[in-house]
Structure 1
Amino acid sequence: MNENMNTSTIRGPLDHEIRDQIISAATEHFSHYGYEKTTVSDLAKAIGFSKAYIYKFFESKQAIGAVICTNRLAMIMEIVDAAIAGAPTASEKLRCLFRSISEAGSDLFFHDRKLYDIAAVASRDQWPSAVAHQVRIRAIIQQILLDGRASGEFERKTPLDEATKAIFLIILPYVNPAQLQYNLDTAPEAAVHLPALILRSLAP
C-alpha cells in the first residue's frame, strides 16, 4: 500500500517504551527478512505481540518502515553534516558533500542491505521522510553556494535557484537510494570528478 505518511499514522504516545520496542524489533526483523516480504502478521509473531496491539501504535507496516527510514537517513545526514562542518572553504564543502553522501549511502547498502531496501522503497514511493531528506540536501547545496558567493569563490551571475537545482540533479543518483543501487560502481569516481566539474563551472 502506498500511503502518504503523516502524524496520524503514529498512534499512542511518541515516547512510549512499547513503541520503541516495536521499532527496535522491526529494525532487526527487516534487516534479516527485508521490508517488502514482511507483513505486520510476520512482525507481530516475531516480536511476540498481537497484530492488533501493534496497530495501537502504528496504523500500517509503512508507518513502522517510515520511522526506520527516518532513523537511517538521519544517520546519513549526521555523517554529511560532520564532513561539511570540518571543511574550510565552500569548494571543499561541496567536495565533502559529494564524497560523504555517496560513501554513507554505499556503506548502508553493503552493511544493511535489507534496511537499505526500506530507504529505496521510501524514495521510490516518495514517502515524506525521503522527500524531507532531499529537501535537506538541496538546502545544504544552496547554503554552500551562498557561502562560496560571499567569499568570492563562486560566480554570481547564475540565479541561485537554478544553480542549486542543477547541482542537486547531478548529485541525485547518489542521494536517492532507489537510484544509488544502480550507481554503486561509479560512486567513488563520481564523488571526485562531478564536484570538480561543478567547481570549474562555478568559478568567477
Structure 2
Amino acid sequence: MSTVERDTRHDIIDVAERFFRQIGYQKTTVADIAKSLRMSPANVYRFFDSKKAINEAVAERSMSELEATVAAIAAEKRPASERLRDILSATCRINAARYLDNHRLHEMVACAMEESWDVVRGHIERYDAILRSVVADGIARGEFTARDPVTATHCVRMAMLRFCHPLLLAQCAELPGPTVEEMIDFILAGLGAVRSAA
C-alpha cells in the first residue's frame, strides 16, 4: 500500500470517527464520509468494502491505542504488582474518558461487538497477552502466589469488566459496589501479592 493510500485510509477513519461521535454510527452514511472528504462514495469503497469495514477500522484503531499504552506499562522495569495496578487503572481511565459521556460511541462499540466480533476478540486476546506477561512475571519472581497465569489473567479481566467494558461503564456507574482502586486491591490480594514487593 502506497503512502497516499495509507493517508487516504487514515483520513477516512478520522472522518468516520468524527461522524460516529457527532451523529452516531447508525445515522452516518458512506456518502456523509465521502462528502466530507470531497470524494465519491465509490472512492471510499476502494479503501473499505463496506460501512462495517470502516467501523471495524475505527474500533480497531481505538483498541490499538489502548493496547499500546498498557504494553508500554507492562514493559517497564518495576514490580509486577505496580505495573498491573497501573495497567488496570489506565484501562479504566482511558475507556471512561472515551465512552462514559458519549452514548454514540457506545452504539459504535455495540455494533462492533455484534457485527465484527473477530475484531473485538482479537483485542481481548492481545490485551490478555499483555496482562498475562505481567502476571507470569510476578509469579516467576515470587511476587504473586497464584500458580496459573492463564487462569489468573482471565479472572483479573473478568473482575474489572464493569469498570472497563464500554457498554457496562454507564450501566453500572450507579450500582453499589467497590471503587476501581478497591477492586484492584482485591485483585492483587487474590493473586497473593507479596506486600514487600509492591
Counterpart-to-counterpart distance in 1, 2:87 and 2:14:
30
Does structure 1 residue 163 correspond to structure 2 residue 152?
A: yes
Helix, strand or coil: the match of 1:48? Answer: coil
1:43-192 → structure 2 map (5 Å cutoff): 43-86=33-76, 88-110=78-100, 114-115=104-105, 117-156=107-146, 158-184=147-173, 190-192=179-181
User: How large is the Cα RMSD of the aligned pairs?
Assistant: 2.7
The one-letter code of the counterpart of 1:107 is A
Aligned AA for 1:67?
Answer: A
Please tell me the residue identity of whatever aligns with 2:181.
V
- 3-state DSSP of counterpart to 2:46: coil
1:176–1:111 CA distance, 2 compared to 1 (3 A): closer
Partner amino acid for 1:44? A
Q: Distance in 1 between matches of 2:67 and 2:133?
A: 15
Letter in 1 for 2:62: R
Alignment check: 8 A CA contact 1:29 1:46 kept: no
User: Could you list the per-position Cα deviations for residues 125-170 of structure 1 after superposition, in whole angstroms to 9, with x for gaps in the alignment?
Assistant: 45333222211221122112211111111114x4332222222211
Q: Which AA in structure 2 matches 1:140?
A: I
Q: Return closer, same or farther for 1:72/1:113 CA change in 2, 3 Å cut-off.
A: farther
Alignment of 1:29 with 2:27, yes or no, is no
TM-score (norm 1): 0.78
Residue 58 of structure 1, CA deviation? 1.0
Distance change >3 Å, CA 116–CA 162, structure 1 → 2 = same
Tell me by how many angstroms 1:60 deviates: 0.6
Write the distance in 2 (CA, Å) between the matches of 1:164 and 1:122. 24
Call closer, same or farther: CA 1:108–1:136 in 2, change over 3 Å. Answer: same
Structure 1 stretch 76-85 or stretch 110-119: which is displaced more?
A: 110-119
Distance 1:20 1:93, change over 3 A: closer
CA distance in 2, matches of 1:24, 1:18: 10
Aligned residue runs from structure 1 range 11-26, under 5 A: 13=1, 15=3, 16=5, 17-26=7-16
Percent identity of paired positions between Structure 1 and Structure 2: 28
- TM superposition score normalised by structure 2: 0.80
1:104 Cα deviation after fit = 0.5
- CA 1:184–1:85 in structure 2 vs 1: closer, same or farther (change >3 Å)? farther
CA distance in 1, matches of 2:160, 2:77: 19
Q: SS of the counterpart of 1:55?
A: helix
The count of residues paired between Structure 1 and Structure 2 equals 190
Q: CA deviation at 1:53?
A: 2.1
